[in-house]
Amino acid sequence: MRVLVIGSTGQLGSDVVRAFSGGDVVGLDHKTIDIEIPSSITDALNHYRPDFVVNAAAFHNVELCESRPDRAFAVNALAVDDLAAQCALAKIHLVHVSTDYVFDGRATTPYDESAPVGPLSVYAISKVAGEQLLQRHGGAWTIVRTSGLYGVRGSRTKGYTFIERILTQAAEGRPLHVVNDITFSPSYTRHVAEGIRRIVESGAGGIFHVTNSGHCTWYEFAREIIRQSGVDAELHETTSERFPTVARRPAFSALGHGALARAGLGTMPAWQEGIRDYLSERSAAAPAFG
Ligand SMILES: NC(=O)c1ccc[n+]([C@@H]2O[C@H](COP(=O)([O-])OP(=O)(O)OC[C@H]3O[C@@H](n4cnc5c(N)ncnc54)[C@H](OP(=O)(O)O)[C@@H]3O)[C@@H](O)[C@H]2O)c1
């Protein structure tokens, strides 16, 4: 079984490549494949002839998407449509990564995979469009929705992960003001990548939510990061009014894991374990952080 990972230098894509490292996996970076260019997809599929494609590429700077809907739709919707068409033709199973932001945030308990979507931002609308377009080609597909990603590699688009921001600010002795009115499931990319590997190996199709288990606010996330890392920090809770944004975001976007359970694919580690494993991977890679 050969797996081809698109977006392989991203924070999630790199851990997906690593999750399959005992098997036949090929990771392609943006220089090697550009999903906006149909011939680039064709060349890669013809050359590598994979059984599964995992698409971890996206245009996901949520604020920038508001002023560049053309870019958001080009990468998150139209390119995904084309990728799905080509995968269907070549009988390749497409596993596409999507987001908790497809939901409107009015829920008070974790969203099931079957819950209706209600995107609030251009980014979220473009991801919903990608989810829907990829289903129209008659091929095998799986959508993996995830949330609040952080990995040791970090995201080039977003810069530092939230954990690094907290640790850096704490080390500089600057007080931290973190919002306590947005609830989500922060997720460590290695754990999400392991979940994706289990789904791929099972061959299951449909929609799966793959995040760390449980949920917390950003303030609770910061408090747990500080507790586990043992740093001294002055942490204050605040509300999102303090940090106005152009894009609207769901106030509650925790994802339930019903599909994983129904498919017998096990459970996901708790979000606190995500922080623990991130911090231990981070200290093993300490020279990279100076
Ligand atoms: N980050 C989050 O908190 C979060 C939350 C929920 C869902 N997600 C979803 O999770 C997935 C992975 O996110 P991530 O945080 O790992 O992103 P990331 O670190 O920014 O990685 C994205 C990767 O895709 C590549 N890429 C971008 N445009 C491409 C294109 N047109 N063709 C081929 N490759 C392209 C990027 O390469 P370059 O950097 O070289 O351009 C990068 O390697 C995305 O689908 C995102 O929507 C993310």
Per-residue three-class SS string for the chain: CEEEEECCCCHHHHHHHHHCCCCEEEEECCCCCCCCCHHHHHHHHHHHCCCEEEECCCCCCHHHHHHCHHHHHHHHHHHHHHHHHHHHHCCCEEEEEEEHHHCCCCCCCCECCCCCCCCCCHHHHHHHHHHHHHHHHCCCEEEEEECCEECCCCECCCECCHHHHHHHHHHCCCCEEEECCCEECCEEHHHHHHHHHHHHHHCCCEEEECCCECCEEHHHHHHHHHHHHCCCCCEEEECHHHCCCCCCCCCECCECCHHHHHCCCCCCCEHHHHHHHHHHHHHHCHHHHC
101, 111, 123, 278: which is the annotated catalytic residue?
123
Ligand 1, residues at Cβ distance < 6 Å:
6-7, 9-13, 30, 33-36, 56-58, 60, 75, 79, 97, 99-100, 146-149, 155-157
User: Which amino acid does the sequence have at 74?
Assistant: A
Kindly give the number of the ligand 1 atom that is closest to the alpha carbon of 9.
43
Mutation test residue for ligand 1: of 6, 12, 164, the one with most atoms within 8 Å of CB: 12
Q: Of 182, 186, 73, which Cα lies nearest the Cα of 121?
A: 73
Name the residue with the closest Cα to ligand 1, atom 41.
30
Question: According to the model, what pLDDT value does residue 160 have?
Answer: 78
184 CA from centroid of ligand 1 (Å): 19
pTM attached to this predicted model: 0.97
Give the residue-averaged pLDDT of 245-264. 97
Question: According to the model, what pLDDT value does residue 203 have?
Answer: 97
149 CA from centroid of ligand 1 (Å): 11
Name the residue with the closest Cα to ligand 1, atom 37.
30
Name the residue with the closest Cα to ligand 1, atom 32.
34
Question: According to the model, what pLDDT value does residue 240 have?
Answer: 94
Give the tens place of pLDDT for each residue, 28-75: 999 999 999 999 999 999 999 999 999 999 999 999 999 999 999 999
Give the residue-averaged pLDDT of 203-229. 98
101 CA from centroid of ligand 1 (Å): 15
Mutation test residue for ligand 1: of 8, 30, 278, the one with most atoms within 8 Å of CB: 30
Percent residues over pLDDT 90 in the chain: 93
Name the residue with the closest Cα to ligand 1, atom 10.
97
Cα–Cα distance measured from residue 143 to residue 76, given in angstroms and rounded to the nearest whole number: 13
Mutation test residue for ligand 1: of 15, 32, 37, 60, the one with most atoms within 8 Å of CB: 60
Question: According to the model, what pLDDT value does residue 158 have?
Answer: 67
Q: Of 246, 225, 239, which Cα lies nearest the Cα of 183?
A: 239
Residue 180 has pLDDT above 90, yes or no: yes
The CATH code that applies to domain 2-289 is 3.40.50.720
CA angle at residue 212 from 74 to 11, to 5 degrees? 45
Give the tens place of pLDDT for each residue, 122-141: 999 999 999 999 999 999 99
CB 70, CB 30: distance < 8 Å = no
Cα–Cα distance measured from residue 288 to residue 152, given in angstroms and rounded to the nearest whole number: 10
Q: What is the dihedral angle through the alpha carbons of 47, 76, 103, 84, rounded to the nearest 10 degrees?
A: -40
Cα–Cα distance measured from residue 85 to residue 267, given in angstroms and rounded to the nearest whole number: 32
Kindly give the number of the ligand 1 atom that is closest to the alpha carbon of 34.
32
Q: Of 251, 235, 79, 226, which Cα lies nearest the Cα of 163?
A: 226
Residue 208 has pLDDT above 50, yes or no: yes
CB 197, CB 52: distance < 8 Å = no
Residue 288 has pLDDT above 60, yes or no: no
Residue 15 has pLDDT above 80, yes or no: yes
Name the residue with the closest Cα to ligand 1, atom 5.
147
Give the residue-averaged pLDDT of 232-238. 96
Strands 2-6 and 24-28: parallel
Give the residue-averaged pLDDT of 169-174. 94
Supply the mean pLDDT for the chain.
Answer: 95
**Is residue 101 flagged as an active site residue?**
no
Give the residue-averaged pLDDT of 89-115. 98
Kindly give the number of the ligand 1 atom that is closest to the alpha carbon of 153.
19
Percent residues over pLDDT 70 in the chain: 97
Residue whose structure tokens are 């306590």: 180
Q: Where are the domains of the chain?
A: 2-289
Cα–Cα distance measured from residue 7 to residue 151, given in angstroms and rounded to the nearest whole number: 14
Residue 287 has pLDDT above 60, yes or no: no
Complete edge-to-edge strand list for the sheet that includes strand 2-6: 24-28, 2-6, 52-55, 93-99, 141-146, 206-209
Residue 85 has pLDDT above 50, yes or no: yes
